[in-house]
């Protein structure tokens, strides 16, 4: 069953679920530490960007992490502390719609 999140879960206090994606070539161990319920690792992506006036092309891993808003700041601190880039990518977006059982599972797995 797919559900829209109830409005009570959308409040700042109870947003509940955040879909986080970052590029990090490290093992973050965020599942074991309960900062994320699941991490999808997409290997061998290529990022092209300009850095300090120079065109760069890097082979990276894409990590897609499922977490809750209550753990978001701790997750961000962990990712940034381990990330090799001077300006690491850390982007979070709320989950607006999903499987009720999966969303409840995320809630039980994350601190």
Highest mean pLDDT among 1-5, 56-60, 81-85: 56-60
Contact 68, 92 (CB under 8 A): no
Instruction: Identify the pLDDT of residue 91.
Output: 84
Structure tokens at 7: 């409005």
In a domain? residue 33: yes
**Structure confidence by residue, pLDDT tens digits, 38-57:** 888 888 888 899 999 999 99
Structural domains counted in the chain: 1
In a domain? residue 46: no
Return the CATH number at 103.
3.30.70.120
Residue 90 lies in domain: 2-38+65-109
Find tokens 């808003």 and name the residue.
Answer: 69
Give the per-residue SS3 of 67-97. ECHHHHHHHHHHHHHHCCCCCCCEEEEECCE
Give the H or E element holding residue 103: helix 100-109
In a domain? residue 16: yes
In a domain? residue 53: no
In a domain? residue 57: no
In a domain? residue 97: yes
């Amino acid at each position: 069953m797919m559900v829209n999140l109830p409005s009570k879960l959308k409040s700042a206090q109870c947003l509940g679920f955040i879909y986080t994606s970052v590029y990090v070539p490290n093992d973050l161990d965020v599942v074991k530490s309960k900062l994320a319920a699941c991490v999808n690792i997409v290997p061998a992506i290529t990022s092209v960007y300009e850095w300090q006036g120079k065109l760069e092309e890097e082979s990276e891993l894409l990590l897609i992490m499922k977490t809750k808003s209550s753990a978001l700041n701790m997750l961000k601190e962990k990712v940034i502390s381990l990330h090799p880039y001077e300006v690491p990518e850390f982007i979070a977006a709320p989950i607006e719609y999903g499987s009720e059982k999966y969303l409840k599972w995320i809630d039980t797995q994350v601190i």
